[in-house]
Amino acid sequence: MFYQTIDILGTVAFALSGVLVAMEKRLDMFGVLIIAFVTAIGGGTLRDLLIGNTPVVWMRDLTYVSTIFITVVFGILFVKQLKYLRKSLFLFDTIGIGLYTMVGIEKGLQAELSPIMCIALGTITASFGGVIRDILCNEIPVIFRKEIYATACILGGASYFLFTQFPIQESYAYVLAITIVIVLRLLAVKFDIRLPSIYRKKLD
């Protein structure tokens, strides 16, 4: 129940971030819908494809599609109010990536992959929706340029495997890891911490 609520809030936040980007690009309504859609389910879709978990999850469970559809309709109707929701949106989004990271890790464990691959799957689940959104909108993906985003997923995911080495309940490790992803992202945004960019002039 708690799990599902957060999952839906995460989906809503991801979909709304897609709506906002798509509108800035002056897309039509179908474009806005698709961008919202791929932002919300793109990461999970790529994860499912890579491990061969098909039909991919949103094709088997209508919750995602209906949540996204309703979100887009509301997003279009109340576009002016969205800016007042910016802080809540950011919070949902951050909770969303924490949860999506652990969802991806669980799928990796079910497929009997090594911890490093599980962390990779968690990071892909949480962050590649945004990558596909940016590619479709003809931008270099924002997470490659300036945001601590995937890094929080990687560190949080690694912490999960660290915690499971200790004699604590798995569900604690689970919640702790999600919390670490969320806290890292909040701190990074609050203190404007960025990964260094390694610029280099064209060699020749």
Summarize as ranges the residues that interact with its own copies (CB under 8 A). Answer: 20, 22-32, 34-35, 45, 49-52, 54-56, 59-60, 62, 65, 76, 79, 82-83, 86, 111, 113-114, 116-117, 120-121, 131, 135-141, 143-146, 150-151, 194-200, 202-204
Minimum CB separation of residue 186 from its own copies in Å reads 18
Q: Which is nearer to its own copies, 190 or 201 (CB)?
A: 201
Give CA–CA dist 89/95, Å, rounded.
Answer: 10
Q: With respect to its own copies, which residue has the nearer C-beta, 114 or 169?
A: 114
Tell me the C-alpha distance between 70 and 159, whole Å.
Answer: 35
Query: Given the complex with its own copies, which of 5 and 61 has the nearer CB atom?
Result: 61
**What is the nearest approach in angstroms of its own copies to the Cβ of residue 89?**
10
Residue 44 CB, nearest approach to its own copies (Å): 12
Longest dimension (CA), the chain: 58
Q: Min. distance of Cβ 83 from its own copies in angstroms?
A: 4
26 or 190, CB closer to its own copies? 26
CB-based contacts of 50, cutoff 8 Å, min separation 6: 121, 124
Least Cα distance to 92 among 17, 194, 160 occurs for 17
For its own copies, the closer CB: 5 or 28: 28
Provide CB contacts within 8 A for 130, sequence distance 6+.
14, 17, 39, 42, 43, 141, 142, 143, 149
Q: 70 vs 168, which CB is nearer to its own copies?
A: 70
The 3-class secondary structure across 106-170, one letter per residue, is: HHHHHCCCCHHHHHHHHHHHHHHHHHHHHHHCCCCCHHHCCCCCHHHHHHHHHHHHHHCCCCCCH
To its own copies, the closest distance from the beta carbon of 157 in angstroms equals 14
Q: In this structure, what token pair is assigned to residue 126?
A: 């949480």
Shortest separation between residue 171's beta carbon and its own copies, angstroms:
26
